[in-house]
Amino acid sequence: MEQILAQLPQQVINGLTLGSIYALLALGYSMVYGILRMLNFAHGDVFMVGSLIGWGVLQLFVRGETTLARSGLALVSMVCGAVIVTSALGGTIERFAYRPLQKGSRLTTLISALGTSIILQNVAMLLTQGRAKAYQTELVISSDWAISALGATISATRLIIICVSIALMLAMDYAVTHTMLGKAMRATSQDREAAEYMGIRTQRVISVAFIIGSGLAGIAGVMIGLYYTQVDFMIGFSAGMKAFTAAVLGGIGNIRGAMAGGLVLGLAESLGVLFLAPVYKDVIVFSVLIAVLILRPQGILGKPVDEKV
Amino acid sequence: MKRQFQLRFRRTRNLVKFLSMVTLILCIGTGFAYSKELPPVKIGAAGPFTGDLSKIGLDALNAIQMAVEEANAEGGIKGRKIEVAIGDDMGDPSKGVLVAEKFAMDKNVLGVVGPMNSATVSAALPAYDRAGLVIISQSATNPDLSERGYRVMHRICPRDDAQGPAAARFIAEEVKAKNVYIIDDKGTYGQGLADQVAAALGPLGVKVTRGQITLEDRDFSPILTRVKATQPDLIYLGLSNPAQAAGLMKQAIGLGLSARFMGGDCMKEKDQLVAGAGGAAEGMYVTAIGKDIAEVPAAREFIKKFEGKYGAMSVFSGQSYEATKILIEALRVAAGDDPAGLTKAKALDAVHSIRDYKGIMGFPIGFDEKGDVLGASIYVYQVENGDFREVKEYPAEV
């Protein structure tokens, strides 16, 4: 018991860090589902591409002056590089893999998403020769910058991850609730046909949703690289599964729900480890999902779907 | 005009007929001539040549091919050429069985170097045994493999029940650790080695706590937080993927965890472990199942040739080369003066009776009744300034 209490603060920090990354990824899932009612299973792999791009940019700094890397310039360029590439990738995937199939059944786009995921994974495997790529986190953010409180070590990396994610989530929330684009998104998600009649270019709204979601996945990719300190071509699958779970947990299609779902999931994963062996952390995650779905099928913040007459 | 054309056309057609007849006869003729020469002897190379572990696999394959080329330059096996048959198992046990069955169906495959992973050897052994096809594994260390009574099983690396106790002795006597946390990856190799270390540490009066991760894990904060709560002097890693160990050590720094690390023979990998950990591996101990062959005089020529051809050696290149050389030597003995009469059974007997083979490993190699290597040692290395330095040697006793 004493040991469990001693671990508690650290595991909460671990959970918040991981949870905020899941939340960022879940946003992309939820946004696309809210508008198109489709599951974008390639989202996890876009995230993986983002993490590898971040690694590539970091290597440019590693070869040059290391003081330059420490100044924060490296972090900014890694994030920018990843966001540019993943946004472009997201837009391209939407244009060529999903848009031609929009008229077909929902299952068709789902299969197309799975195919895209496999392609991205294999291309990344060939380009990296299947090897793990080490993130030199210590060059970007010194491992000496850390706060110790209540027996928990909060490194600067974790703090940055949590702060950046929360800032991005607040920004997203504001954008969806207060801007014209957000209004257009909400309108499109409620009734695409009616939104079209009101003069909203719904196709463009869909593209923008994909681009923003993929950009967020890119940022999450760089953050996971800094947190895990190494990335490889396989990380997209499990992260994608977790983010999808988070989105369902929070109420799929609901932006705030996705954020809440991500944080709950991250905390469940690391707090569950207090009582069970760490090997079971995925079991804990999916048990939480099942429990929530039994008690609240619409998710934590989701609204029950009214029976349409 | 038209007639003339037809005539000429007929003539050309006759010419074509004639030429094809000649070619056909020539082909049959050379065919007969060829059939007098014996078919090549094939050596199977089984290992993970693609996928997660492809780095160690491909380096092993290069070494095997190099040994075969050298043997061919010396006249092969009594005039019969040697070829390498490649069987990629990706480190996956189910694919390991398929590779074994593929080799078993080819009557010219008379011996196999590999498979490399304990789990693949374990799965494929029954298939190799049914075919009576002898295998020499360069790196499968799980003790159980040679205890199951399969006569085809041979290996030139010492077992985990030699490596584990040696590691435990080092931890208790040299590091003088009192409190050890052991993390393994639930794999045949990783958990097997961790079990051995844990079992040997108990009687030495060292407190042991254990935890597990999975091969897919990238986030080690949950387990490391648990580790931190027990405040160990040393953390032992029973992992098979050096990249995973590198990530774990880096994340440990992020949590403010300052314990020594130690790992098994799979960790002795410069690129993924030492470079991948970016300084976090400094001071880490690893046990190795063979001497660093850079220190063996007899291996100098091999290293020069290998590195000139394929770049830096990785952990199992030397062992793969040695295993191939032993197999070729055995095939030569088995062939005697009758290379045509070479069979799988003869090859198996010859490998089984190899004694005092002097190669590049730095100790004379032979096999005991179970196919385990005789006379090997366990070495402990420490990472120092980004390189491995030998700190201790223990004879491999089971």
Computed over every residue of chain B, the mean pLDDT equals 87
Å between B158 CA and nearest CA of chain A? 28
Q: Report d(CA B68, CA B83) in Å as an integer.
A: 7
Angle among Cα A52, A90, A33 to the nearest 5 degrees reads 120
What is the model's pTM? 0.77
Q: Which of B70-74, B183-187, B334-338 has the lowest mean pLDDT?
A: B334-338
Å between B238 CA and nearest CA of chain A? 15
Q: Which of B205-214, B288-297, B368-377 has the lowest mean pLDDT?
A: B288-297
On the 0-12 / 13-18 / 19+ scale of CB atoms within 10 A, A276 is exposed
| pLDDT value of position B256 | 82
| pLDDT value of position B4 | 58
Q: Across the interface, do B216 and A18 touch by the CB < 8 Å criterion?
A: no
Mean pLDDT of A159-188: 92
**Minimum CA–CA partner of B90 in chain A:** A130
**Minimum CA–CA partner of B223 in chain A:** A278
| pLDDT value of position A67 | 67
Q: Report d(CA A20, CA A267) in Å as an integer.
A: 10
Neighboring chain B residues of A159 at a CB cutoff of 8 Å = none
| pLDDT value of position A281 | 84
| pLDDT value of position A130 | 73
Å between A11 CA and nearest CA of chain B? 7
Q: Across the interface, do B253 and A138 touch by the CB < 8 Å criterion?
A: yes
For the domain made up of B41-158+293-367, give the CATH fold.
Rossmann fold (3.40.50)
Out of A7, A18, A278, the one facing B211 most closely (by C-beta) is A278
Q: In a mutagenesis test of the A interface, which of B90, B255, B271 is the best target, namely the one with the most A β-carbons within 10 Å?
A: B255
Out of B226, B253, B254, the one facing A7 most closely (by C-beta) is B226
Out of A10, A231, A279, the one facing B225 most closely (by C-beta) is A10
Residues near B332 by Cβ (< 8 Å), separated by ≥ 6? B77, B78
At residue A155, the 3 state secondary structure works out as strand
| pLDDT value of position B110 | 93
Out of A10, A148, A228, the one facing B219 most closely (by C-beta) is A228
Does A151 have pLDDT greater than 90?
no
Does B229 have pLDDT greater than 90?
no
Q: Across the interface, do B222 and A232 touch by the CB < 8 Å criterion?
A: no
| pLDDT value of position A306 | 54
Q: In a mutagenesis test of the A interface, which of B92, B184, B214, B225 is the best target, namely the one with the most A β-carbons within 10 Å?
A: B225
| pLDDT value of position A131 | 78
**Is residue B330 a contact partner of residue B350, using CB atoms and an 8 Å limit?**
yes
Does A292 have pLDDT greater than 90?
no
Å between A184 CA and nearest CA of chain B? 38
Provide the pLDDT confidence category of residue B24 given band limits of 50, 70 and 90.
low
| pLDDT value of position B383 | 93
| pLDDT value of position A125 | 86
Does A224 have pLDDT greater than 80?
yes
Out of A11, A129, A238, the one facing B216 most closely (by C-beta) is A238
Sequence spans of domains, chain B: 41-158+293-367, 161-288+380-395
| pLDDT value of position A9 | 86
Q: Across the interface, do B221 and A155 touch by the CB < 8 Å criterion?
A: no
Cis amide linkage into residue B115, ω under 30° from 0: yes
Domains B41-158+293-367 and B161-288+380-395 share a fold: yes
| pLDDT value of position A65 | 65
| pLDDT value of position B3 | 57
On the 0-12 / 13-18 / 19+ scale of CB atoms within 10 A, A235 is buried
Instruction: State the first-to-last Cα distance of chain A, in angstroms, to the nearest integer.
Output: 55
How many other CB atoms sit within 10 Å of the CB of residue B217? 20
| pLDDT value of position A136 | 83
pLDDT one-digit tens code per residue, B204-219: 989 999 999 988 888 8
Residues near B214 by Cβ (< 8 Å), separated by ≥ 6? A279, B185, B186
Provide the pLDDT confidence category of residue A309 given band limits of 50, 70 and 90.
very low
Handedness of CA A281, A283, A289, A294 (dihedral sign): negative
Q: Report d(CA B63, CA B153) in Å as an integer.
A: 21
Q: What type of residue is B309?
A: K
Mean pLDDT of B146-163: 90
Does A214 have pLDDT greater than 80?
yes
| pLDDT value of position A200 | 92
Mean pLDDT of B113-136: 93
Mean pLDDT of A229-255: 88
Å between A6 CA and nearest CA of chain B? 7
Kindly state the helix (H) or strand (E) to which residue B155 belongs, with its residue range. Answer: strand B153-155
Mean pLDDT of B155-182: 91
Mean pLDDT of B391-395: 87
Mean pLDDT of B160-164: 88
How many other CB atoms sit within 10 Å of the CB of residue B357? 17
Does B84 have pLDDT greater than 90?
yes
Does B391 have pLDDT greater than 50?
yes
Does B32 have pLDDT greater than 60?
no
Does B33 have pLDDT greater than 90?
no
Mean pLDDT of B48-59: 81
Q: Across the interface, do B225 and A270 touch by the CB < 8 Å criterion?
A: yes
Instruction: Give helix B188-201 / helix B118-131 axis angle, nearest 10°.
Output: 110
Say if domain B161-288+380-395 classifies as CATH 3.40.50.2300: yes
Computed over every residue of chain A, the mean pLDDT equals 88
Out of A3, A137, A277, the one facing B229 most closely (by C-beta) is A3
pLDDT one-digit tens code per residue, A188-199: 988 888 999 999
Neighboring chain A residues of B211 at a CB cutoff of 8 Å = 277-278
Å between A153 CA and nearest CA of chain B? 6
Does B9 have pLDDT greater than 70?
no
ipTM, 2 dp: 0.80
Q: Across the interface, do A10 and B216 touch by the CB < 8 Å criterion?
A: no
Å between B322 CA and nearest CA of chain A? 27
How large a percentage of chain A has pLDDT more than 90?
A: 45
How many other CB atoms sit within 10 Å of the CB of residue A129? 11
Which of the pair, B22 or A208, is modelled with greater confidence? A208
Does B201 have pLDDT greater than 90?
yes
Strands B109-113, B134-137: pairing kind = parallel
Q: In a mutagenesis test of the A interface, which of B218, B257, B273, B314 is the best target, namely the one with the most A β-carbons within 10 Å?
A: B218
Q: In a mutagenesis test of the A interface, which of B250, B272, B282 is the best target, namely the one with the most A β-carbons within 10 Å?
A: B250
